[in-house]
Structure 1
């Protein structure tokens, strides 16, 4: 039986290696399109101005494309790894444990999808609009011209992507905490205040330094948190009724 598990782990490791290698090849083949998808949410700010990237090192474009391809490949590899882990441990789980695990994974992907859409459609345009607004100001006949370096832009995008991944993980952990904690009214009120303060700090770290963007994302975090509470209390109420 032990050798069977070792053989299964070996075979799944081979599948994961093949997945990583094939994905990195495909990602590099479509590297320009991947870069365009990262840039697409911000093209509206360059309808009248010509927009281009500069590079100051001979290998900078190549290494930046590699960094972007590695990042995309690792995301798909992580999804495949989660799938193989679930399939591997599922025979040793009860049905309710397997169902909770699947729901937790789907909830994580759900929150990640929400924050990814917020990143591309709201957060990045807000950042470009705020910081590029300083380009149009002149003082004592001093003009400012923006020339984007390709590696700095990719690092900027990936940094905000990781922040959105962190936000989705935070709300998943909150949901798991609500699953295991038995909260009375006083503790619940105290926990809510602390979470609101944490949401404010997270919104401040994630958004440009203007109060409107920070309040907007702070309200989004509160809305998602209250939605989780309503969902959890509805599940508890439904389970009591059915029992």
Structure 2
């Protein structure tokens, strides 16, 4: 009977935790939809005066798309936090501390990523592709950006940045059980796995696969480079470490 009551208690707590996550996501969606125009204005490139809409319901579904992405991105963080609070009483102290530090690291990582790095990447890509549209002089070509297409490209970039942190965690986990020579030897297989994963996640077009596959490869190469620098640092540290006299030699000197 006590076991049944305990199970019912934990199921109720899990239900409440999930309810908090669901209502939190709904609240975020309603807030984002209230300020939908200001939210879109944040992601617009500087110097752009207008966008083009070709469908009757395109603006409405574009608003729904950006509000859904925004609410589910933050709602996933709320869900993971509630899941951690539910599992924390049954975890060991080191497990709870590891998961807590991982959540804090993920929060700081994504905060810095979307505040500092994401606008820079968007600006660079916009200026890069805008030059091709302006330098086309064979015919009278006018560039009319479409709002839905622009936000779709931002969504693909968001996918690539979202999977960067789990990929770094996975690479660090694999690094514990492998060596650097193995990473260098099977580098080509890692590239194939990155593009296969990108093809599985993204829509079936080359641009989406490239936008997700290339950052995965960059994470792999950055991890390998940091690994090499860390090993070089340990070698230099061992070389510069002073040699301590042996304790038995000191005793012999004292006796003499």
In which range does the TM-score fall when normalised by the shorter chain? 0.7 to 0.9
> Out of 53, 59, 62, which is 1:61 matched to?
59
Unaligned runs of 5+ in 2: 1-5, 196-208, 238-256
Relative to structure 1, the CA distance from residue 138 to residue 24 in structure 2 (aligned partners, 3 Å threshold; closer, same or farther) is closer
Unaligned runs of 5+ in 1: 208-213, 238-243
Residue 168 of structure 1: aligned partner? 165
> Per-residue deviation at 1:76?
1.3
Instruction: Provide the TM-score with structure 1 as the length reference.
Output: 0.74
1:190-227 CA-to-partner distances (Å, cap 9, x unmatched) read 2145458857977x9239xxxxxx8x997786445544
1:123-144 CA-to-partner distances (Å, cap 9, x unmatched) read 222211221111222444x132
Inter-partner Cα distance in structure 2 for 1:109 and 1:190: 31
Residue 134 of structure 1: aligned partner? 132
Confirm or deny: 8 A CA contact 1:137 1:143 kept in the other structure. Answer: no
Relative to structure 1, the CA distance from residue 125 to residue 195 in structure 2 (aligned partners, 3 Å threshold; closer, same or farther) is farther
Confirm or deny: 8 A CA contact 1:163 1:206 kept in the other structure. Answer: yes
> Per-residue deviation at 1:17?
2.3
Mean alpha-carbon deviation: is it higher for 104-113 or for 59-68?
A: 104-113
Relative to structure 1, the CA distance from residue 76 to residue 53 in structure 2 (aligned partners, 3 Å threshold; closer, same or farther) is same
Residue 118 of structure 1: aligned partner? 117
Tell whether 2:30 aligns with 1:25. yes
Residue 251 of structure 2: aligned partner? none
Relative to structure 1, the CA distance from residue 84 to residue 57 in structure 2 (aligned partners, 3 Å threshold; closer, same or farther) is same
> Out of 14, 19, 26, which is 2:19 matched to?
14
Residue 34 of structure 1: aligned partner? 39
State the number of aligned residues: 212
Residue 210 of structure 1: aligned partner? none
Residue aligned with 1:53, SS: coil
Structure with the bigger RCO (C-alpha within 8 Å, sep 6+) is 1
Tell whether 2:190 aligns with 1:191. no
Relative to structure 1, the CA distance from residue 137 to residue 52 in structure 2 (aligned partners, 3 Å threshold; closer, same or farther) is same
**What RMSD, in angstroms, separates the aligned Cα atoms of the two structures?**
3.2
Inter-partner Cα distance in structure 2 for 1:81 and 1:217: 25
Where in structure 2 are the equivalents of 1:64-143 lying within 5 Å? 64-116=62-114, 117-121=116-120, 123-140=121-138, 142-143=139-140
Residue 198 of structure 2: aligned partner? none
Relative to structure 1, the CA distance from residue 14 to residue 115 in structure 2 (aligned partners, 3 Å threshold; closer, same or farther) is closer
Inter-partner Cα distance in structure 2 for 1:106 and 1:10: 24
Inter-partner Cα distance in structure 2 for 1:6 and 1:131: 52
